[in-house]
Amino acid sequence: MTARLSMKNRRRILLIASLPLAVGVIIGVLAMLPPRPGITMANFNRIRSGMTESDVEEIFGEEGVEMVYFIAGDEPQKDWIHWDATAKIGFLNGRVVAKVWMGDEPETLVEKMCRWLHLD
């Protein structure tokens, strides 16, 4: 004699089996959402060597504050630009050559996953 599952048990098994799939889809959708502009660690991690100042401004969503350095007798050299006293980006010939994160904002779980999967 074969045991048949009742309709209630079938639904319960289907619900339990589909839960991991639903979680995976939600995480995938969150990882694929375009990052919002702002001075965040996630956006800071998107900045790469060779980007222009306008590229960085587009990522952060605002202009930075220039720090001007004078070298004895020369014209002022624009080397570093600060964003919200949190991110400092170094430029040489108009391109990113260095960056420093000075904020203490912890990464969210989704930001960590995106960084680990190189989705940033």
Q: Quick one: average pLDDT of 65-78? A: 65
Output 85 or 62, whichever has higher pLDDT.
62
pLDDT at 56: 93
Based on the structure, what is the number of domains in the chain?
1
pTM for this structure?
A: 0.59
> Residue 100 phi/psi, 5° resolution?
-135, 130
Asked if the structure places residue 95 within a domain, the reply is: yes
User: Three-state SS across 37-51?
Assistant: CCCCHHHHHHCCCCC
Q: The domain containing residue 76 runs over which residues?
A: 35-116
pLDDT in tens, 103-113: 776 767 777 77
Q: At what angle do helices 109-116 and 7-32 cross, to 10 degrees?
A: 70
Asked if the structure places residue 57 within a domain, the reply is: yes
Output 87 or 116, whichever has higher pLDDT.
87
**CATH code at position 101:** 3.30.1450
pLDDT in tens, 20-70: 888 888 888 877 777 778 888 888 889 999 999 999 999 999 988 887 666
Asked if the structure places residue 78 within a domain, the reply is: yes
The two counts, helices (H) then strands (E), for the chain are 4, 4
pLDDT at 1: 46
Asked if the structure places residue 64 within a domain, the reply is: yes
Contact 8, 29 (CB under 8 A): no
Q: Quick one: average pLDDT of 88-114? A: 81
